[in-house]
Amino acid sequence: MRLARFLAMAGVASRRASEELITAGKVIVNGNKCTNVATNVDPDTDTVTYKGRRLHIKKNIYLALNKPTGYACTASDPHEKKTIFNLLPKTDRLFSVGRLDKNSEGLILVTNDGEFANKLMHPRYELEKRYRVYVTGEIVNHAINDVSRNGITHEDIFYKTKNIEIRKRTDNGGVLHFTLTEGKKREIRKICKALGLTVRSLKRTQVGDLKLGELPVGSYRELREKEIEALIKLTKSK
């Protein structure tokens, strides 16, 4: 396999960043400095080192987490005391596939496979994500339908959903099911605010065909092989 791919699979950096490390002469192959990005290596027989450490291909990790409210998805903010990574196994370079804001809960994917994560997050693939949202305020049918058909602008930002479904009405609010394919910051909350609604709770229930199911809040599980293959297939269908 190409050296840059090997570096990426070993958790050093993304494939593009790995190519830069190679051209900068920072990677050693079988005792010799390598600067040719077209170099191929055999993981079983060749010795590749970076910063004096011999590299090995890491086992890819794919997890589904039911994120609780109050937990951030960042691993880099020192001011966040509660992050989803406190709930996950201690291993190198785990990161979330997209984010849920701190006050939201539900399904989030976590992996150490950067290529997998980048593909799922790329807008080109329009990965569907579904949410159950409890709101207060008057739910107006034609306003909800108009957002689904034409989108809505709030604070000079345009938002477009795949679908909004009214699932339940109460005396002062109800339950909405949102389906999104883009991931703008606090998108559902902004749309609801533009509609005169207040979000009381927001839970992501599905990513692609992967459903949250009965996974307890704060718990995680490994994805099954068929689930991983189904998600990868989505990135090859467009």
Q: Which residues are catalytic?
A: 101
- Beta pairing, strands 105-111 & 95-96: antiparallel
Torsions phi, psi of 70, nearest 5? 90, -5
Token couple for 4: 């840059």
- Cα-flanking dihedrals φ and ψ of residue 148, to 5°? -60, -40
Q: Which helix (H) or strand (E) holds 83?
A: none
CA neighbor of 236 nearest in space, from 63, 120, 108, 109: 120
User: CB count, 10 Å around CB of 72?
Assistant: 20
CA 212/CA 82 separation, integer angstroms: 22
* H helix intervals, the chain: 3-9, 15-23, 114-121, 141-150, 187-194, 225-234
